[in-house]
Chains A and B, each alone.
Chain A
Amino acid sequence: MINRHTLRACLALFLLVAGPLAMAQGGLTIEIPKGNSAAQPIAVVPFGFEGAGLPPDTDVGAVVSADLARSGKFFTLAKQDIIEFPTREGDVKFATWRMLKQDYLVVGRIADASEGALRVEFELFDVARQSRILGLSISGQRSDLRGVAHQIADLVYEKILGERGAFWTRIAYVTSTGLGQNTNYALMVADSDGFNPQTVVRSREPLLSPAWSPDGRRLAYVSFERGNSAIYIQDLSTGSRELVSSSRGINGGPAFSPDGTRLALTLSESGNPEIYVLDLASKRKTKLTTHYAIDVEAVWAADGRSIIFTSDRSGKPQLYSMSSGGGEATRLTFQGQYNARASICCDGKKIAMAQGNGNVYRISVLDRATNGYSEISTGNVDESPSFAPNGSMVLYAATEGPRGVLYVVSADGRVRQRLVLAEGDVREPAWGPFRQR
């Protein structure tokens, strides 16, 4: 199954990634346990530096290459196999790249822009047709060259595959370090490749269930810092935060409506967990469910008209759908003993969930058109699936040995990558929305 090509690609990936990750310092390490024979070969030549002063620390070409490889849809050519270093169309000899069996080629160069910024120009070529199919430039500060590189990767991805790339996005997750009374929790935000981890909030009490606002500027989350669960909304740029729910009992599972004006949440103030919708401007609460079962983990359909939630009203947890205005709930899942924590993608055509059978919990994706399930994870305690905004990948939490780790898997389940925090336990991942330039 694994041919030499695959092995070489995996090794190349490892080498490409191993360099930058030494600098990650507490970031996430990328490991790729499986290759993918359907991927397209692409070479990203190291970008030339044509500015004054020192070249930037960020190897833009390497970041672009690692992104494309992580998607599972490309094989990237290993750096040591690159024998020519064109930086613009006039330098490209297509015969060389044909000989190296590359379908696509990316070259680029970095020059000075105004006010200390850098301008990164790049070109994408179809090797077989010997033609340039994309040529653009993106400017950014030296400190944000990784961000520029992720945007380039998105544009290359979109040009070749016809769907928007999701590399220039962020992920949120919770870490815990220490044991017992000395456990420290942190809500973190990082780039989609795990770099640039930043602490949003630290706590001595548990944190969970981060949820992105649709504009990517705020996170809602659950904190136990008041001695009971409570829901906060925090602005990521200013750090200011608002306590939006601290009712008696459980305050859990926040989820922003697609227009950002409402928050679905779980409250047990009536005696057992029910789904509510909170209007963020008026603070008016609407109770959606009324059932003695545990009703939790509401998520919104893209049009905001319905929600999907977890309920054990049939005995074990299963997914249900209902109008976001209330009414009857319809059961969606009938396969698997335990189905919970839905993540919706692709206009509701697919639903990822944590599916439990016996003691094994894995991520499964339900295709609403065929009603078929595909298992896309391989662990025993896998949970919290979260689709990338373009639906191409799913981020989820797994347990390996004593600690929690994060995985990114292609939506078809064929390519998995592990994101590992150097220290402690990582869990509760949530993939943020597309960012606006």
Chain B
Amino acid sequence: MNNTVRILAAVMLVAGVAACKKKVVQPDPTPSTPTSTATTDSAPSTGRYQKGDLDTDACLRQRVVYFDLDRTEIKGEFQAQISCHAEYLRQFPEARVTLEGHADERGTREYNLGLGERRGNAVSSALGGAGASSSQLNVVSYGEERPVDRGHDESAWSKNRRVEIVYTAN
């Protein structure tokens, strides 16, 4: 499945970037049957990733970095995620991401806007340090305004203290 999509994406790359972009947005709903042409073409890749990998690669599909209470350091477990997104951004200079910073509900809303931005900046710096260009990176803080879990305990808070990596162009 993974390989099939990757190969199809490679075929589309050869066909042209414009056509490719359209098809990435609306992928073929039935890519499960490999075709003979797909298996014979080889990808003209110069790096680790193809465009379609954003939706298929296990590492690139990870788009959320979680933080400890009141902290903005990126934990070790998210380094691999940072590295693969940085690599993708390095490989595709036209790709753009918005880093949406979030905080849990504790504390005031305006302070939490600051905290969310600090976390967004931390991810932005890490991506920049690992190969992405600053022109590809945009930080928006939502503070505590967009929780993914509306509970009032640590289990909810730990899910809400996060930065979401959102591709605005790929």
How far apart are the CA atoms of A250 and B142 in the complex, in Å? Answer: 9
What mask results when residues 150 to 161 of chain B are scored 1 for a CB within 8 Å of chain A, else 0? 101000000000
Residues of B within 8 A of A (CB): 70, 105-111, 113-115, 117-118, 121, 139-142, 145-146, 150, 152
Partner of B117, one of A227, A273, A383: A273
Chain A residues 199-256 with CB under 8 Å of chain B are: 206, 208-209, 224, 227-229, 249-250, 252-253
A296 with B111, Cβ < 8 A, contacts A206-B145, A249-B139, A272-B117 known: yes
**Residue A340, interface by CB 8 Å:** yes
Taking CB as reference atom, which chain A residue is nearest B146? A206
Partner of A384, one of B70, B108, B121: B108
Taking CB as reference atom, which chain A residue is nearest B145? A206
Q: Tell me whether B106 and A356 are in contact (CB under 8 A).
A: yes
Q: Tell me whether A209 and B109 are in contact (CB under 8 A).
A: yes
The contact sample of 17 A-B pairs, CB cut-off 8 A, is: A206-B142, A209-B110, A224-B142, A229-B140, A266-B114, A271-B121, A296-B108, A296-B110, A317-B108, A338-B107, A340-B108, A341-B110, A356-B107, A381-B106, A383-B108, A383-B109, A384-B108
Size bracket of the A interface:
35 or more
How far apart are the CA atoms of A316 and B111 in the complex, in Å? Answer: 11
Q: Tell me whether A250 and B146 are in contact (CB under 8 A).
A: no
**Residue A268, interface by CB 8 Å:** yes
Q: Tell me whether A273 and B142 are in contact (CB under 8 A).
A: no
Quote the shortest CB–CB distance from A424 to chain B (angstroms): 12
Q: Tell me whether A250 and B107 are in contact (CB under 8 A).
A: no
A252 with B113, Cβ < 8 A, contacts A206-B142, A402-B150 known: yes
How far apart are the CA atoms of A339 and B145 in the complex, in Å? Answer: 20
Q: Tell me whether A272 and B114 are in contact (CB under 8 A).
A: yes
- A-chain residues with CB within 8 Å of residue B145 when the two chains form the complex: 206, 208, 224
**Residue A123, interface by CB 8 Å:** no
Q: Tell me whether B117 and A249 are in contact (CB under 8 A).
A: yes
Quote the shortest CB–CB distance from A333 to chain B (angstroms): 14
Chain A residues 363-394 with CB under 8 Å of chain B are: 380-381, 383-384
**Residue A399, interface by CB 8 Å:** yes
Q: Tell me whether B110 and A310 are in contact (CB under 8 A).
A: yes
A399 with B108, Cβ < 8 A, contacts A250-B117, A268-B117, A272-B114 known: no
Q: Tell me whether A227 and B152 are in contact (CB under 8 A).
A: no
A310 with B118, Cβ < 8 A, contacts A224-B142, A381-B152 known: no
